[in-house]
Chain A
Amino acid sequence: MFVLDAQPGLTAVLCALDIGVRCSIVLGVSCPLVLASMALIADVESEKSEDVPRCGGPQSSISRTDIWSPVNALSAGIAHEINNPLGIIGQEAQLLKYLLEQEPFASIEASAGCLESVREIVRQVDRCKEIVNKLLSLARQSDPIIQRTDINTIVVEMANLAERQNLVDKDVKIVRSLRRELPLVHTDPPLVRQVILNLINNAIQAIEKKGTVAISTAPAGEWVEIAITDDGCGIPQENMSKIFTPFYSTKPHGTGTGLGLAICRGIVERLGGQLTVGSEVGKCTTFTVRLPVEGPARSR
């Protein structure tokens, strides 16, 4: 790193840029590796499920935990490696932003353009952080922590949260149909919350303008079922096998990471359950989570 000016402000700016460049190299090398490892999963065929869905049409349920472990370990390792440089880029960009807002830079006309660039860096770093987070969440191998859990309470909490959010451009009604006689389930409450909230969020996003998201719970022998149905756009049959694949997304570019459903499936399987989907294009989609009342086999 060469220093053009002895002025401390400028030196700091140049140092920050230097760190940024080095970190981008790390990112440039690591990201394709993560993507390549994830592409392995894309080749997996889906298996048909015997479950009865709330929404008719084609169904999909993939259950191939075995291929996940090495890929997960690799992506977790890479995500960790990316996290640190990402943190540094973020901090240095914040510092740059602060310096550019102070004198002497504030009064230089060209600073405005630099400031806008730095702001964009901050935004994009935040986006990368989010993706890394999701990757780590996808790969997290720690065993679930089992507590006796009231699934109805979790569903109500998450539905209330979704209901209270301000939907600017759409009118979505959330309907709950919860069976009172549901047994307490031995499962990991925060993980179940994450799955339910993700599925409710997807259901809302599937509705274009006006629609209903119906959430129901029911006991099913040694299982408890949670079904989330939307009357939105539906999933075409050719996409059914892909929806649980990491980085597969139909949301507009830059808005979804394509990791939500992959994370949900990973969690449900770790809890000893199944996540299935049934859909009719233009009519409805139901995601069904089945959790074993007695918890995952390993924890018993």
Chain B
Amino acid sequence: MEKFRVLIVDDEDDFVETMVKRLKSKGLEAEGVNRGHAALELLRHKEFDVCVLDVRMPGMDGIETLREMKKRDPSLEVIILTGHGSVESGIQGLQLGAYNYVMKPVPFPELLEQIVQAYERKVIEEERRQHRLVHDAPEL
């Protein structure tokens, strides 16, 4: 698997720890934090490709964090995790540009597949941007 960078944001420290360990064992770069604010702070000086974000956290919730993340870096792909089904917040999250809205508990292989697909999307978008830069550049 191509190496890319994943950020896990969840107030359940055990979940974060396990996820980071398992993603690293798959050869990915992974890091975790337990608050929305901490994630935004980390993103100020470090780039990630995909973020897995819990919707219900103390302080800044997942939706607010997502809004802020997308404002700063629209190319970051975000997968939202939810412990309870909420259609309204699901619609809101997808509208704000989340890649998916996934119900907890989710088996690791399934979540990994989602993360890989989200990364693929980012790669496609990046290639398109490069293509546009080359083709739309004024001739010298």
Instruction: Determine which of B84, B94, B103, B125 lies in contact with A194 in the assembled complex, contact meaning CB atoms within 8 Å.
Output: B94
Residues of A within 8 A of B103 (CB): 157, 160-161, 164
A9 to B73, alpha carbons, bound, how many Å? 35
Instruction: Determine which of A137, A160, A189, A201 lies in contact with B95 in the assembled complex, contact meaning CB atoms within 8 Å.
Output: A137
Is A79's CB within 8 Å of the partner chain B? Answer: no
The interface size bin for chain A is 20 to 34
Contact present for B85 and A161 (CB under 8 Å): yes
Considering the complex, give the chain A residue whose CB is closest to the CB of B96: A133
A193 to B91, alpha carbons, bound, how many Å? 9
Contact present for A193 and B95 (CB under 8 Å): no
A189 to B96, alpha carbons, bound, how many Å? 14
Instruction: Determine which of B90, B97, B99 lies in contact with A197 in the assembled complex, contact meaning CB atoms within 8 Å.
Output: B90
A260 to B101, alpha carbons, bound, how many Å? 18
Interface of A is mostly: helix
Considering the complex, give the chain B residue whose CB is closest to the CB of A205: B87
Given A145-B121, A147-B120, A166-B84, A201-B92 contact (CB < 8 Å): no
Is A198's CB within 8 Å of the partner chain B? Answer: yes
Contact present for A201 and B94 (CB under 8 Å): no
Is B130's CB within 8 Å of the partner chain A? Answer: no
Shortest CB–CB separation between residue B95 and chain A, in angstroms? Answer: 5
A207 to B99, alpha carbons, bound, how many Å? 29
Contact present for B87 and A190 (CB under 8 Å): no
Query: Which residues in A have some Cβ–Cβ distance to B below 8 Å?
Result: 130, 133-134, 137, 143, 145-147, 157-158, 160-166, 189-190, 193-194, 197-198, 200-201, 204, 260, 263
